[in-house]
Structure 1
Amino acid sequence: MTRASLVSGAFVELADALVGEYDVLDLLRTLVDQCVVLLDAEAAGILLADDNGNMQVVASTNEESRIVEVLQRQAGAGPCVDAYRSGKVVTLSDIPADGGLYPAFQAAALSQGFRSVHAIPMRFRPNTIGALNLFRTETGVLSEEDATIGQALADVATISLLHERSARENAAVNE
């Protein structure tokens, strides 16, 4: 299959969640899995904010990325947390050299073999609900194409999550 076919398939799979019943955790697991297949990343993870703004690890592709996400959440600082708070992409292309801004994240990421990270806010209009982390074992930045595809996948997943939340709230009001 061509990359274009794989990207199209990923969008169809994520958009399919907008129709009928679906499991939010399955959707997020699909997102991180597709990111690793499609993009120049060895692992991915998602932190979502709950109703009180507290970050929760909701999906990761492997134990190494999960460990980094949990430690970042506990420290309350890191590229994913900043991507959520600012609504802007945060990239550390060289964690050993540039990660000193987030010492706990830097130590956790390096201990798990990650050398760079690209954190993408999960946002739709004014709503930022979390962030998607793309971890790489090499230093450097994602290509512009990979960064664009990653943001688009995060955006579609965000719309799906906001749609699910709205439907759940409407059902509660109707009851």
Structure 2
Amino acid sequence: MVSFVPILAWVLALVAAAADIARAPRPLGARLVADRLLRWIFFFVIGLMSLWAFMGHVFFPAEAAAAIGWQTSPFQFEVGVANLGIGLAGVVGAFWGRLGFRTATWIVVASFLGGAAIGHLRQIAETGNLAAGNAGPILYTDILTPTVVAVLLLVAWKADQKA
């Protein structure tokens, strides 16, 4: 199940963004497209996925640890609470956050997910940990999410500068 959640979040974000863009007034500008993509990535990929991680680490720590290839640890509660904050910021940023709020949220997301990606890669290199929650889609989305959001934020910022 752990392997499918990041993929599902990205698919839902892209489908929702495509539907939102299809209903948008024409002509479409880069700012509008970036905004709609950011909205749904923030909601599904950053918001709901982080809330899912919060619930896993806090309420189902043994299952979450096993999916990652870890032993349970008291630090899971701290990781879970960090995910709670990121998830709430993602949901707020999706619908009520302006570009500055989204950028600030991205800084936290990029730091957290970037660090997680480094941790996953170290676990693979040092211990051969290829558990689905360590070396599967979560690793790829730990890199993909902050990268895609950075590009979209840059497009939005540049479009705002031209306006």
Same-fold call, TM > 0.5? no
Whichever of the two has the greater Rg, that structure is 2
The TM-score with structure 1 as length reference comes to 0.36
Q: Which structure: greater helix fraction?
A: 2
Alignment TM-score, normalising by the size of structure 2: 0.38
Q: Which has the higher strand share?
A: 1
**Higher RCO (CA < 8 A, seq sep 6+):** 2
